[in-house]
Amino acid sequence: METRRAGRTWFRPSPVGVTLLVVGAVFAVLTPTFLSLNNLLNVCTSASVVAIVGLGMTLAIASGNFDLSVGSTAAFAGCITMSVIPEIGVMPAIALGIATGALVGWVNGLIVTELRVPAFIATLGMLTIVRGAALIYTRGRDIYLFGKTDYKILSSGITPALIALAIALFFGFLLKRTRFGRHILATGSNLASARRVGVRTTYVLWSVFAIVGATAALSGLILSAQVLTGNGRLATGLELSAIAVVVLGGTPLTGGQASIPGTLFGSLLVAVINNGLNLLNVSIFYQNVTLGLLLLGALSLTTGWTPKFGRVVRKESVADVANLSGIAQGGDGAKSEGGDGAKSA
């Protein structure tokens, strides 16, 4: 587990990836239709919807938080976008929907950092507030779009899968290769330490929550594009699937670590299982039980993954004080860009 080397992590065989291959192979044998192009496309699309928000959730969990309001945000953003398409056109409407999601996320961040409400409570509150707002906005009715087939592109073909992949690459790069990504991990690993090394944890958390909100909105847009309907009840329970795929992917809930490919595989695994069971005509009730068991299995695996025996006992040779070499003094002063320090975290 600890043999992580820079740059190689992306291609490490992960438990969830192996499970995915095994489960996929089983379904391929059991049902002839599973491997058909059409079916695989279906699987990819449903996996992508969860993966996109799941990727945002991965960042949130890496920063030591999570967001329960993503389902509501997805619905709200979907409704907003659908309602404004006739007036402002498809692309601006999509942008507005995503911005709405980011705004909701930023409010989550504000509640967590400024009011110091734990993320669980803060986003639970926002879950109901935003769901309510979506229903108020639509007056509880559906918003239909007729003839606006260019919006349908968002959910057709491999578009959702491409979007998910692009976001995964972007977030992976963010976490591995940017200062902002490192600051997310530091904040999630130890907030107090992060502040003390000069990380503006408040801004980091605002950004992370805004990103989660934006990904939730994007998932909501794809869902609404599938049915060309804006509905305040859309994406109920999305928050749980999103957290589930992150956990399945091996990202620990304790913060400070993240597995972007894991989240992708997790989403695929859930989609494959649902799809396969559908093809086998297993009732939806049994599918729920299967998914729950899968999640418990993954959790017990990831928490019990480290071997219990062989506690590391250090035997260190004593340092040679006399040989202590010179202290680093080289290099110029630490320069950093950006605004001034945040007041609090």
Partner 1 sequence: MPEPSVPSLLEVRNLTRRFPGVVALDDVNFDVVRGEVHALVGENGAGKSTLINILAGVLQPSEGRILIDGAPVAFSDPLGSQRCGISVIFQEFSLLPHLSVAENVFVTREPRHGPLIDWETMNRNTAEILHTLNLDIEPSTPVSKLSVSQQQLVEIARALSTKARVIIMDEPTAALNEREVVRLLEIVRSLASTGVAVIYVSHRLAEVFSVADRVTVFRDGRHISTSPRNAVTEQQVVAAMVGRKLAHLERPIRRPGELILEARELTVDDGVVRNVSFSLRRGEVLGLAGLMGSGCSELMEGLFGLRKITSGTVTLDGEPLQANHPRAAIRAGIGFVPEDRKTNGLFSDLAVTKNLTIGALPRWLKSVPAFLDPVRERQVTLEYKRQLNIRFSRPEQRVSGLSGGNQQKIILGRALAVNCRVLLLEEPTRGVDVGAKAEIYALIDELVAKGIAILLQTSELPELIRLADRCVVFVAGEARAELSGIEVTQQAVMEVATGLSHRVAIRDQSLEVANGN
Footprint on this chain of partner 1 (rule: CB under 8 A): 2-7, 176-182, 185-186, 189-190, 192-200, 254, 256-257, 309-316, 318-329, 331-337, 340-343
Type and span of the H or E element at 79:
helix 70-88
Closest approach of partner 1 to the CB of residue 266, in Å:
21
Cβ closer to partner 1: 149 or 254? 254
Cβ closer to partner 1: 123 or 201? 201
Encode 294-307: b = buried (16+ Cβ within 10 Å), e = exposed.
bbeebeeebeeeee
Closest approach of partner 1 to the CB of residue 82, in Å:
36
Cβ closer to partner 1: 116 or 177? 177
Closest approach of partner 1 to the CB of residue 136, in Å:
39
Cβ closer to partner 1: 190 or 229? 190
Residue 312 burial (10 A CB sphere; 0-12, 13-18, 19+): exposed
Pull the structure tokens for residue 55: 């990727």
Closest approach of partner 1 to the CB of residue 187, in Å:
10
Cβ closer to partner 1: 139 or 315? 315
- Measured CA to CA, the distance from residue 117 to residue 69 in angstroms comes to 15
Closest approach of partner 1 to the CB of residue 343, in Å:
6
First to last CA, the chain: 32
Closest approach of partner 1 to the CB of residue 312, in Å:
6
DSSP-derived letter for residue 69 is T
Residue 234 burial (10 A CB sphere; 0-12, 13-18, 19+): buried
Encode 48-62: b = buried (16+ Cβ within 10 Å), e = exposed.
bbbbbbbbbbbbbbb
Contact in structure between 126 and 108 (CB atoms under 8 Å) = yes
Closest approach of partner 1 to the CB of residue 284, in Å:
38
- Measured CA to CA, the distance from residue 82 to residue 78 in angstroms comes to 6
Cβ closer to partner 1: 36 or 254? 254
Cβ closer to partner 1: 13 or 147? 13
Which residues in 63-167 belong to E strands, given as ranges?
143-144
